[in-house]
Chain A
Amino acid sequence: MLTRSEHRASRAVGVAALVLIGLALAAPVSVLVSQGAGSGLAGTQGDYLLRITRFTLLQAGLSTLLSVALAVPLARSLARRPSFKGRRWLINLFAVPLALPPLVAALGLLEVWGRNGVANNGLALFGLETPFSIYGLSGILIAHVFFNMPLAARLILPGLERLPPEYWKTAANLGMGGLSLFRLVEWPAMRRSAGGAAGLVFMLCATSFTLVLVLGGGPAATTLEVAIYQALRFDFDPGRAVLLSAIQIGLTLAVMLGLRLISLPTEAGDTKGGATDRPDVARGWRALPDALLIAAAGAFVGAPLVAVIVSGLAADLGRLLSDAQFWRAAGTSLMIGLAAATVSVSLAGLMVRARYSVGEPPASVWLSLLSGLSAAAGSLTLLVPPVVLGAGWFLMLGGGAGQLLAPLSVIVLINALMALPFVIRVIEPAHASAMERNGRLALSLGITGFNRIRQIDIPAMLAPLATGFVFAVALSLGDLGAIALFGSDRIVTLPWLLYQKLGSYRTADAAGLALLLGAATMVLMIIADRLGARLGPASWAGRHQP
């Protein structure tokens, strides 16, 4: 319920927000295209591009296969054991990797899977001579499974838990064997969400940057995004960066179109009510396979987290906290995070308002275009990954050398756009229900325009706005993609500082820093989650780390 002038204003600012997003996306892409048009394709370069593309697809495909293939039996085991001690705790643990900055997780994975890590030392005890290497494809796969297997399991589990208890009773009465139960009951219930999870995981892995940067190990294990970064920061070869970006955009576009064909699972979160009794499931020692699988998954996800905490506490935190460099980086990170969150929430709010104003169905072609574009704006930012976006701005600003404000603004903008799809998803349903509740009242009280936004609409939506805001801050706080291109001795964020310390092998410092950064983002994510939980599970729809 809006007045006439409010409608006009809503649409106008909606268009303005769209134009801003459009510019933020189109300007760097057009720079990439125009720069790319001028540069030819060297003979051997084609080969290299082909190999990078192939590796990107290969690692994403394998990561997806592994993640989902492990998540299906894991979800099944969890559904079969609905009431063991610590089950809820474990499922919450599975949400942690997503909330963690990839760089922090990479450090934990190195502690566990590195040459001198727990895993290799364990293998050595069994007399295995050849240590396992975390660098290259194997490392990338481990990292991606660490991030995505728990996500997939959380997406698949609700499908099983939603099955009516009668199914299991009947199965028990019929004396159905494990195989036919899986074929006739469990798999059909998991199939859809498993497909959706696979698509999502593939998308996340195909655009993975930080993990490949840290664990890649040379040109043989490089993805498109890392190659774009290297083309700009190593070679300063804009032509190649452009070609790689074009391939990357084409690839994500294809994956996104593919994702439309398979429907995405709706929600991961709500699994706590899953205490359906399972009369078909054997107890006693025959629970062992399930127990082993669940314990192994818990250890696989938990060990790197424990490693981050243990080695972080072992580091000289006092020295780190008294280091001026740390506080400068923390200040920069916080400033960028707050600015990015403000931009993100504002843009999301404007677009949600505009879409509401347009209504269903839209009254004209123009209005339906506005509505459609606002809906697409979120996905558009997924289409152009942060590194590609950054690459365009990087070329436009001449590398941002010697400048401060411009590169900072670009980092803020990129981080804001990264968070945008998720912020919109949080705000939109809350806005709709607030309008339903208060719309008429505001009209009848004659409170309109800014007064209405300030006194009625914003207070009514405080929780979702705060959720979106805190989430955007957390996302920005852990981001390495944008800062990797623009970071310098003058612009240092916490992830950038961590990456540098990791690089120069000041492991103790890096471990302490990782703990602090990880703890900060976790706290923010938990706050966002708590705020979001009050909105009900329908509106707080999953957090997918880009």
Chain B
Amino acid sequence: MRSFRYLTPALAIFVPLLAGPAISADKTLTVYTYESFVAEWGPGPKIEAAFEADCGCDLKWVGVADGVALLNRLKLEGDRSEAGVVLGLDTNLVAEAKATGLFEAHGLDTAAVSVPGGYSDEVFIPYDYGHFAVIYDSEAIANPPTSLKDLVEGDPEQKIVIQDPRTSTPGLGLLLWMKSVYGDDAAAAWEKLSQRVLTVTPGWSEAYGLFTSGEAPMVLSYTVSPAYHMVAEETERYQAAEFSEGHYLQIEVAGMLAHAPDKDLAREFLAFMMTPGFQNEIPTQNWMMPAAPITMELPQAFSKLVTPEKTFLYSSDEVAENRAAWIEEWLGAMSR
């Protein structure tokens, strides 16, 4: 996921102009997503414009802190939610999201979608994917960690900012990554790693903001993140650390709600999501890998990225079964 701030401050000036005269449309689609997706520097505004050009409707974004917080919010709102589509859960959360009974099968042809491992589901459609990675500031760290073990056991004075697994999908991703590598010893590893953790933020945006402002030399993000700095800032200062154990994969998905006010419109949006109109905005606005064909050329920087040799991914049933217990374990280890 994830787009970057300060993209072109000049762009921000035009946003109010674009949003200025409220387009009077008789149909409205509300999409719940995470904050960085709808920020003025994120893909949200462009995707909104592209979708509204054809649908004769008004697309309304509602951004919450991060992916897991999305699920919490849905559980809270139940069938009173005004949302038609939820965009920004990941495969780790799919089983739990289905168990709420709030989602409905999309009934669309998803042949265009292609993600590592070939994920396919009748309720949720992938829209992008990426591997989690520790991004480091090469001006602050000369010898970045080369493995997760290295990260856990490294110099506690070199800090990392991570996200809270109770609200954030990257946070949950790191939790599952640690579990994949350490298994039953994960609690002990977390206890050790906690000495290197500067702070735990509720969402990805906060963490990445702390990192780029120099509060910490490392942050949990994605292997694609350095491409942003190479393309938008023309610097190779920020790099992803390649871990020898392998990297945890995230596939981000969207689905429509059973209580969507306008189901046809919700379905139309999900179909649009698999077209280049949507997908073209993913690589250089959300800074993730597209899950369906694009009609643009990927910038040169994308060829310089870390490509993990080994990939971890739990099945969503496994995550659903263990998430509460593992988070409990995380809380216990981190509060020690």
Contacts and interface: CB of A to CB of B under 8 A. Distances in A.
A44 B215 contact: no
Nearest to A394: B76
B81 to A, nearest CB: 7
B202 A507 contact: no
B81 A220 contact: no
Contact of A115 (B65, B75, B164, B215): B215
A505 B77 contact: no
A295 B154 CA distance: 41
B214 interface: yes
Given A236-B72, A505-B206, A506-B5, A48 B332 contact: yes
B205 interface: yes
A401 B199 contact: no
A42 B166 contact: no
A374 B331 CA distance: 42
B72 A48 contact: no
B205 A219 contact: no
Contacts of A504: 5, 35-36, 39, 203, 205-206, 209
Interface in B199-241: 199-203, 205-206, 208-210, 212-216
A507 B331 contact: no
Contacts of B280: none
Contact of B215 (A116, A219, A235): A116
B164 A217 contact: no
Contact of A235 (B72, B73, B336): B72
B52 interface: no
B39 to A, nearest CB: 7
A48 B330 CA distance: 10
Contacts of B157: 130
Contacts of A398: 76, 78, 80
Contacts of B77: 399, 401-402
A402 to B, nearest CB: 4
B222 to A, nearest CB: 18
A47 B73 CA distance: 27
B336 A51 contact: yes
Nearest to A400: B76
Given A235-B72, A489-B62, A45 B328 contact: yes
A362 interface: no
A52 B332 CA distance: 10
A44 B209 CA distance: 33
B328 to A, nearest CB: 5
A220 B69 contact: no
B334 A218 contact: yes
* A interface bracket (residues with beta carbon within 8 Å of B): 35 or more
A114 B331 contact: no
B189 interface: no
Interface in A115-129: 115-116
B197 interface: yes
B335 A503 contact: no
A116 B332 CA distance: 31
Contact of B203 (A52, A116, A133, A503): A503
A507 B80 contact: no
B167 interface: yes
Interface string B304-336: 000000000000000000000001111110111
Contacts of B194: 218, 220
Contacts of A399: 76-77
A52 B331 CA distance: 10
A214 to B, nearest CB: 10
Nearest to A401: B77
Interface residues of B, number: 50
Interface string B57-78: 0000011010011001101111
B245 interface: no
A220 B191 CA distance: 10
Contacts of B201: 503
A114 B199 CA distance: 13
B93 to A, nearest CB: 14
Contacts of A236: 72, 75-76
Contacts of A114: 215
B323 to A, nearest CB: 10
A234 interface: yes
Nearest to B65: A503
A22 B251 CA distance: 50
Interface-central residue, B35, B77, B205, B335, by most chain A CB under 10 Å: B335
Interface in A278-316: none
Contacts of B214: 115-116
B262 interface: no
Contact of B199 (A42, A52, A135, A505): A135
A52 B159 CA distance: 23
Contact of B210 (A52, A55, A505): A505
A233 B199 contact: no
B197 A218 contact: yes
Q: Enumerate the 10 nearest inter-chain pairs by beta-carbon distance, A residue then B residue, closest first.
A: A505-B209, A218-B200, A217-B199, A401-B77, A399-B76, A234-B166, A219-B334, A219-B335, A402-B80, A135-B199
Interface of A: 42, 44-45, 47-48, 51-52, 55, 114-116, 130, 133, 135-136, 216-220, 222, 230, 233-236, 398-399, 401-402, 489, 503-507
Given A503-B201, A505-B5, 16 more contacts: A44-B328, A48-B328, A51-B335, A51-B336, A135-B198, A216-B199, A218-B197, A218-B334, A219-B335, A220-B335, A234-B202, A235-B72, A503-B65, A504-B36, A504-B39, A504-B206
30 contacts: A42-B328, A44-B328, A44-B331, A44-B332, A48-B335, A51-B335, A55-B335, A133-B159, A216-B199, A218-B194, A219-B330, A219-B331, A219-B335, A220-B194, A220-B334, A222-B335, A233-B72, A234-B202, A235-B327, A236-B75, A399-B77, A401-B77, A401-B80, A401-B81, A503-B201, A504-B36, A505-B208, A505-B209, A506-B5, A507-B213
